[in-house]
Amino acid sequence: MEVQRKVVDGGAHARLAEALGHAAHLLPAQGPIGVFIHHNTLHAWQHLPFEQAVEEAGQLFGAEPYLSKARYREEYRRGRIDASDLEDVLGPMAGQDTTAAAIDEWLVPGLLSRRELRRLMMLYPILEDPQSLAWRMHEQELTRQLQEDVPAEAKDRLLAATRAHLGALVDAGDLAAVGRLLTGEADPATADAGLRLALEIPLETEALRRALARDAEALATQALWVAASYPVVLRERARAAMQPAGRLRRHRDLLLAVTEEDIDDLVNPVLIRLMAAFLDQGVAYWPMPDREQGFYLAVRSLCMQGSALPVGWLRGLREELRDQTTRRLGAADVVLEILGDLGVPPEDWDEYVSAVMRGLPGWAGLMNRLEKDPSLAPHGVPPCSLVDFLAVRLIYTRCAIRDVARRHGLALGAPLHQLVERLLASPQMQDARAQHLGESYRLFRILQLAGVPGHEAARLPQSALGRILAEMDAFPEVERRRLWHLAYERHYRVQVLGALAQHGREGLAARAKGRTKAAPRFQLMFCVDEREESLRRHIEELGPDFETFGALGFFGVAVYFRGVDDAQPVPLCPVVVRPEHGVVDRPVEEDTLLKEKRHRMRRLWANLAHGAHVSSRAMVRGWLASFGFGVLSAVPLIMRVLSPRLAARMGEGLKARLLPAPRSELTLQREEEAVEASGGPGFAVGFKQEEKIERVARVLEDTGLVRDFGRLVVIIGHGSSSRNNPHESAYDCGACGGRRGKPNGRLFAQMANRPGVREGLRARGIDIPESTIFIGGYHDTCSDAIELDTHEVPATHAEDLAELRRALEQARRQNAHERCRRFEAAPLDLTPDEALAHVEARSEHLAEPRPEYGHATNAVCYIGRRELTRGLFFDRRAFLVSYDPTLDPDGHILARSLAGVVPVGVGISLEYYFSHVDNQVYGCGTKIQHNVTGLLGVMNGHASDLQTGLSWQMVEIHEPMRLLAVIETHPELLGAVVQRNAGLAELVRNRWLQVATVDPETREIQVLGADGFAPLVAPAAPLPVVPSSVDWYRGRREHLPLARIARALSEAPSGPLSTSSGRSVELQNERA
Amino acid sequence: MNALDPAIPWMAGSILGFPVLTFLVLGLLALLARTPPERVVARSAGLTFGLSLLATLATFTTMELGRQTKLVLGFGPWFQVGGYDFEITLLLDRLSLPFLLLTSTAAWLIGVFSVRYLHRDPGFVRFFALLMLFACGMLLIVLAGNLDVLIVGWELVGLASSLLISFFHHRKEPVRNGLRAFVTYRICDMGLMGAAGLIHHYAHAASFGPAFEVGGDAGALAALPAHVAPWVGLLLVFAAMGKSAQVPFSGWLPRAMEGPTPSSAIFYGTLSIHAGSFLLLRAQPVLERAPAACILLVVIGLLTSVHGTMSGRVQADAKTSLAYASMCQVGLILVEIGLGLPRVAMVHLLGHACLRTVQFLRAPSLMQDLRRVEAAAGGPMGPTGQHIERLLPLRVQRFLYHLSVERGHLDTFLEMLLVQPFLRVGQALDGLEQRWLMLLSRKAGWLGRLGRAVVPAVLRERFKSLMAPRSAP
């Protein structure tokens, strides 16, 4: 439909586009969750320092920047943060150019220093809930006794001082002074009345003596309260706080404040329904008419010719739309018109448009994503455009504003654009609460905590009291939480770096003793994913025959891959990479018949399943379905709930019998320039010889695996399988773009086994002996199943293969065992076999909202030689990237590694950070109410905003901290490398991650601080040593500190492998 | 007759007894002592539902083996007023047995499912307490030997339903929607109360006769005078309309999807949504003599069914589309009852309940399922909605689509015709009361009392001066 743009001021359109760009930038960047990509939730703030970003974004979104104070205090009590951490962060005055003297300045001479004030304000709640203060003071008699949490020595000091002072006054007969102290009244008669009222004692010597002996605490507290509540200085402060609040952002906020009616309650449900219908990927049976014309036009024609009733708040909507049609307005014209009508001046558009979008950030964000990249939608979407969304939202918003304003008599006889001024002037907005009581209480509380007796406080000049309050104001809540957060991070950082330093020193010592490493028999390369850390450790605990490496889980093979059973080729590589090659897993020719039968059967099943799905929801067909297979359908459900593993195994068995899989081969080789165009962008099928050499060489060089090859080298990709879980993809391999990296290991191994490729590698200085065989593999991080693609293993390696299988079989049991300690539903005394059964059931259970914990607990990223970390218990918290600095004098490999790993790691760490610190705003809430919408995302319940981020079940055990990247290199080299990559430099400069380096030779550790790198200062707590991982974690659920695992460092194999006859490692049906 | 017969009352009693006992124990513990730990609640819930299911199976088997089609268990009089008897009786017959099996199985299944699904949720105990309460209510409805017992169960089900919709009470939508369901229930419950009143008035008791049985004791419902039966029929139909989400009271059902997934499944897939149908199946003797009620039932059922299928067709989220699919089939079940086909309705109901439970519990799988189907089919499935929808002229398409998206404007109509006038009356009365209260309490300001408590009297004057700037312009 051709829309003739009304000739309006072209500048306004440009201005609007600018405002839209600004708003779009602040929207969540999550695409459809079928393919979940971890990314920094506050990506739009990355140009700011981390702390500033979280605080500003927090204000904008009404979100928490850090954990709550209560939570940090709890961590302090647990010892997760200790006094030295607190001391460390309190040391320098943040943001102020002062020396150490400033922080130690006295506020109350001899009793309260600035440092002490800040320490107290962090450790104790001061005024958490001002609304209920008056009630609490009365109910808990806070003016008659000191609070329970006042530290003992402060309390003793305060009581003793008051007792002595008052006792002396009473003995001296100076009742006037006592009266002044306890009531603030100079006139004895008034003071007497006041004292009787407050403490039920008269102002008489004997009575006071008795009271001092019986309940000195009441007197002391009363004196302090009088001293704190009296000063005139408080009056000015209270008055200052009564200035009217600044301008609010949009009509909705103003109307809400004045009328207590939320126009979003009117607008959102309608808009959610329309957006869901418009973007739907195939849930609704009946697609929205006209949607190929875009959102605005579709909604316009729908509402104009639809069944709208001329009542309620939508009165006049149809006429409005008709008018827009006859004037042939486009979405942008409508937006401009409404902005004018509502009286929003162009200079406010940035903020206003952004605020309007934030009424439904999830939906607006999705619209924005799909506008930028329509290929994200699994089934293609109609043309999306943010301005369409804005137009429709504003049309409905204007209706709602008009309606609410009319019903509350706010808009009678005046144009709408004057509404804002009228609202701001209305009495409700001016009603800022007087704060006197709160101010007094704050003073009272802090003096109490510091143990300042009432008479001392009363003696202080007004200015000193004002100064204390000003100091308290200068240390606001968000600042306290920031320091807590720094202390929280510091504690873990010191722990990890201290352990690394010690482990490194001992490694050097061992090396100096002349122990040399023999070439291991098995080398296993895993994804850098921190979930593989434990598996690698358990494998290495089997003895020096085993060595592991870490590389990004697509192993340098960026491809579009189509498996035997796949409908579409999918890209398997980080999202920022667009593959140029494709590989198809093609059934071999002898099995063509088998393949066709399989496809026929599968298609039949698909049609039946889809038919049942559709018809059970229809009317007549639903009637037939209820009779036809209604009761029967409950049988598999009951089985699945009763025994998920058994049910899954029966299903697999049935499938294997009915649908034998054909043998297949990968279309790896490419001789001619064949380009397959199907499935999106064109790509070349297969790789040429030199392309293969390039890919294999690169990964081997990156990881430092260029000599001492073992007999078997296993390349293991990973993914995660779970049931009934819309966020399944969020558990898959981030380096494969939120997909399963099963084919990548296989592809890499097949390439590396080609004689031609080996020859080419030799020319590049990588000499792989004939006796080395590469094997592809796959690890399911949820069920801990491990598959190997063994069909290229010759008979000469049969024994090695058998040994490898036994090793993996044992390691995956141990891995399951270690993972189970985190699951509250798994008893702590499980055996490894039971643990394996437990995690297998988790991955198959329909009712399991936490099939695994995903990346929760990630905290460290180590880039360097495994030698330095082998035998360290990282508690599944470290991304481990293999990198050999000795091969990389100029840092070009490091540059590559950092560019690949850091954005992935930081994205994961920050997404977990934000989803944990504010699960409502940044995360997607609890899974148990999620409602899959349009195959695009989830809503909370029946009509809510689209929920972005991670669910609470995924992040509940996470410790929100910035990723600590430890890199084995020289600080200067690292600096140079980082400077060359703008994105990386921004992340490092703005401290979205913590950075430390380990010197490759001396293993000295340097930490990047505000003033550049500085040597690590850490207490040398000895690193615990245990024989094996299980000895360290057994019986414990919580986060564990690092430890040395002796078995992974020993020179001799650790006894025979258990030959438990579990499920075969090899699950995949491969060409024999 | 066989040797197990004396055990039947015990077995049947324990079907209901276990959940009641567990609910009371858990509830009292949480209320008086402290919230019991999750594991205790999980174990006791599993045990309770398991035992209740076992008792059901045992009862069922024994009665089947003994070819017994009817069992009445009397627990004595509840109370008597004048000539009216309120008995506590349970009735096991050809109607209640299949429903009993369904109820017990569903309660057990959802119980087991939820133990895992809600693991570590802060509302874990609350959820199971409510689930237990619901199970008690539903079992009472199914086992009720007379209308009075049924009403007790009916109310418990309604209460549990509303409280579970608003399970996530830190958000305002769930609370609002829970309230909406509650109000709808209460309004329609007036039908049930009215019917009970009439039945007691004319028959002096409200016992049910065994269903699907010719001859024998047909219960109080069959004993109603001919001129009363149609009214009772109409009232019962009205009562069923609320719980079964029939037009025009259907607006609460899609909104009920706010609760946890398993509670949506058992309430709006399996049991609660079918309670209305069960009531009408029980009231078959009345409906047989109330042609007007039957006609009304058929009309409403058909309207609901059409409304459900139309609105369901355009819903783009998993749970709402299932809610409308449920509504649609329940409408058809009511049509079958209205047409005098209780056996068909019963089979339909059982099949539908099982099917919908599965679908609700698997609702989060929607994306995975569809992806699997597409992979198997070798590409995207063909578009739906290509038949009737496409044949209509575009204008009509738009009209119908909009009507469906707006859910037939039923909520707007209700709001306009029912809610607004009611609220206006309420507000007027409230205004009167406010003014009256102000008049009475002019002298006693609670603020003053609060101030006295915190601040010594002598300081209050100074305080007042401090507060003064507030009133200044």
Average pLDDT, integer, range A496-513: 89
Q: Taking residues A266-289, report their average pLDDT.
A: 93
What three-state secondary structure class fits A284?
Answer: coil
Mutate to test the interface with B, among A318, A603, A617 (most CBs of B within 10 A): A617
Confidence (pLDDT) at B452: 47
Query: How many residues are given for chain B?
Result: 473
Cα radius of gyration (chain A): 34
All residues of chain A having their beta carbon less than 8 Å from the beta carbon of residue B449 are none
Does residue A418 belong to the interface with chain B, where contact is any CB pair within 8 Å?
A: no
Q: What are B311's two structure tokens?
A: 């609105």
**Residue in chain B lying closest to A132 (CA):** B450
Contact A57, A63 (CB under 8 A): yes
Cβ neighbors of A842 (< 8 A, separation 6 or more) are: A722, A782, A783, A823, A848, A850, A851, A852
Pairwise CB contact (< 8 Å): B381 & A845: no
Burial pattern A786-821, b for ≥16 Cβ within 10 A else e, equals bbbbbbbbeeebeebbebbbbbbbbbbbbbbbbbbb
A230-269 pLDDT per residue, tens: 666 666 665 555 544 445 567 888 888 788 889 999 999 9
Comparing A7-11, A101-105, A174-178, the range with the smallest average pLDDT is A7-11
Residues of B in contact with A845 (CB under 8 A): 116
Task: Give residue B79's pLDDT.
Answer: 82
Q: How far is B439 from chain A (nearest CA, A)?
A: 25
Cβ contact, residue pair A725, B317, below 8 Å: no
Say whether residue B401 is in contact with chain A using an 8 A CB cutoff: yes
Looking at beta carbons, which residues of chain A come within 8 Å of B389?
286
Give the integer Cα–Cα distance in Å for A795 and A801.
10
Query: Do B155 and B189 meet the contact criterion of CB atoms below 8 Å apart?
Result: yes
Task: Please answer yes or no on whether B309 and A619 come within 8 Å at the CB atom.
Answer: yes
Judged by a CB distance cut-off of 8 A, whether residue B216 touches chain A is no
Instruction: Report pTM.
Output: 0.92
The answer to whether B398 and A306 are in contact (CB under 8 A) is yes
A:B CB pairs within 8 Å: 333
Q: What are the tens digits of pLDDT across the range A968-1008?
A: 999 999 999 999 999 999 999 999 999 999 999 999 999 99
Residue of B nearest to A232 (CA): B466
Listed by number, the residues of chain A in 164-183 with a beta carbon closer than 8 Å to a beta carbon of chain B are 183
Predicted confidence at residue A1051, as pLDDT, reads 77
Question: Other CB atoms closer than 10 Å to residue A4's CB: what's the count?
Answer: 9
For A802, the token pair is: 């058998």
Buried b (16+ CB within 10 A) or exposed e, A834-859: ebbbbbbbbbbbbbbbbbbbbbbbbb
* Whole-number Å distance between alpha carbons of A872 and A467: 51
| Among A residues 834-853, those touching chain B with beta carbons less than 8 Å apart | 845-850
CB contact under 8 A, A434 and B173: no
Find out whether A902 and A861 touch, Cβ atoms under 8 Å: yes
Cis amide bond preceding A569, omega within 30: no
Interface test with B, best of A187, A307, A435, A561 (most B CBs within 10 A): A307
Reported confidence tier of residue A434, pLDDT bands at 50, 70, 90: very low
Angle, in degrees to the nearest 10, between helices A436-450 and A114-123: 110
DSSP A777: E
A284 near B CB under 8 A: yes
Residue by residue, what is the 3-state secondary structure of A181-240? Answer: HHHCCCCHHHHHHHHHHHHCCCCCHHHHHHHHHHCHHHHHHHHHHHHHHCCCHHHHHHHH
Bridge partners (DSSP) of residue A669 are: A687
Q: Which of A285, A603, A926 comes nearest B385 by C-beta?
A: A285
A541: helix, strand or coil: coil
- Interface check for A17 against chain B (CB to CB < 8 A): the answer is no
Q: Tokens 């590694």 sit at which residue?
A: A897
Write B319-322 long-range contacts (CB < 8 A, 24+): B319/A931, B319/A942, B319/B257, B319/B261, B319/B264, B319/B360, B319/B363, B320/A931, B320/A942, B320/A943, B320/B254, B320/B257, B321/A283, B321/A284, B321/A285, B321/A617, B322/A617, B322/B268, B322/B269, B322/B356, B322/B359, B322/B360, B322/B363
Residue A1028: count other Cβ atoms within 10 Å of its Cβ.
18
Interface of A with B in 592-621 (CB under 8 A): 599, 602-603, 605-607, 609-610, 613-614, 616-619
DSSP B292-344: HHHHHHHHHHHHHHHHHHHHHHH--BHHHHHHHHHHHHHHHHHHHHHTT-HHH
Give the angle subtended at the CA of A531 by the CAs of A525 and A532, to the nearest 5°. 20
| Residue of B128, B131, B315, B341 for testing the chain A interface, max A β-carbons within 10 Å | B315
Contact B298/B332 with Cβ under 8 angstroms?
no
Question: Which chain A residues are Cβ-neighbours of B320 within 8 angstroms?
Answer: 931, 942-943
The mean-pLDDT minimum among A91-105, A726-740, A951-965, B56-70 falls in A91-105
CA A100 and chain centroid, separation: 36
- Got the DSSP string for A505-538? HHHHHHHHTT--PPPPSEEEEEES-TTHHHHHHH
Rounded average pLDDT over A46-73: 94
What amino acid occupies position A434? A
Query: Are A941 and B375 within 8 A, CB to CB?
Result: no
- Closest CA of chain B from A1007, distance in Å: 39
Q: What is the DSSP string of B229-261?
A: HHHHHHHHHHHHHHHTT-TTSTTHHHHGGGS-H
pLDDT at position B3 is 57
The region of weakest confidence among A94-103, A182-191, A440-449, A687-696 is A94-103
CB within 8 Å of chain A, chain B residues 229-248: none
Ordered DSSP codes for A672-692: S--EE--SSS-EEESB-HHHH
Chain A nearest-CA distance from B286, in A, is 26
B374 touches chain A (CB under 8 A): yes
Share of chain B above pLDDT 70, in %: 91
Q: Is A240 on the interface with B (CB under 8 A)?
A: no
**Shortest CA distance from A644: residue in chain B:** B113
What is the tens place of the pLDDT at every residue in B178-234? 999 999 999 999 999 999 999 999 988 888 888 887 766 778 888 888 899 999 999
User: Radius of gyration over alpha carbons of chain B, in Å?
Assistant: 26
List of chain B residues whose C-beta atoms are within 8 Å of the C-beta of residue A944: 173
A547: Cβ contacts below 8 Å, ≥ 6 apart: A520, A522, A523, A524, A540, A710, A866
Instruction: Looking at A981-1064, list the stretches that DSSP marks H as alpha helix, in order from N- to C-terminal side.
Output: 982-989, 1029-1033, 1046-1049
* Chain A CA closest to residue B362: A724
Question: Hey, which residues does A882 pair with through a beta bridge?
Answer: A864
Within 408-437 of B, beta carbons closer than 8 Å to A belong to 409, 412, 415-416
Q: Pick from B53, B17, B20, B43: which is nearest to B125 by CA?
A: B43
CA distance A48 to A56: 10
Q: For A190, which of B332, B370, B458 is closest by C-beta distance?
A: B458
Q: Mean pLDDT over all residues of chain A?
A: 88
- pLDDT per residue as tens digits for the range A670-699: 755 555 544 445 678 889 899 999 999 999
Cross-chain Cβ contact B453/A825 below 8 Å: no
Are B450 and A138 in contact (CB < 8 Å)?
yes
Report the residue from B348, B399, B458 with minimal CB separation from A627.
B348
A299 lies within 8 A of chain B by CB = no
Q: Do A284 and B459 touch (CB under 8 A)?
A: no
Q: Which of A798, A796, A839 lies closest to A817 in space, CA to CA?
A: A839
Count of CB atoms within 10 A of residue A253's CB? 16
User: What is the rounded CA–CA span in Å between residue A388 and residue A368?
Assistant: 10
Q: Are A701 and A678 in contact (CB under 8 A)?
A: no
Q: Which of A599, A626, A641 sits opposite B109 (nearest CB)?
A: A641
Q: What is the pLDDT of residues A134-144, one digit of tens each?
A: 888 888 888 88
For chain A, positions 882-941, list CB contacts with chain B under 8 A. 926-935, 939-941
* Backbone angles phi and psi of B49, in degrees to 5: -65, -35
Residue B175 burial (10 A CB sphere; 0-12, 13-18, 19+):
middle
- pLDDT tens, B326-361? 999 999 999 999 999 999 999 999 999 999 999 999
Contacts of B415 in chain A (CB under 8 A): 312
Two tokens at A749?
A: 């191994």
User: Residues A875-892: what's their mean pLDDT?
Assistant: 95
Residue B456 to residue A198, Cβ atoms within 8 A: yes
Name the pLDDT band for A92 (thresholds 50, 70, 90). low
Contact between chains at B260 and A302 (C-beta distance less than 8 A): no
Contact B355 A942 (CB under 8 A): no
Model pLDDT for residues B114-150, shown as the tens digit of each residue: 999 999 999 999 999 999 999 999 999 999 999 999 9
Contact A943 B416 (CB under 8 A): no
Q: Say yes or no to pLDDT of A423 above 80.
A: no
Q: How far is B277 from chain A (nearest CA, A)?
A: 15
Mean pLDDT within B60-83: 85
- 8 A C-beta contact, residue A1032 and residue A873: yes
Instruction: Say how many CA atoms lie within 13 Å of A98 toward its Cβ.
Output: 14
What would the two tokens of residue B103 be? 């109820």
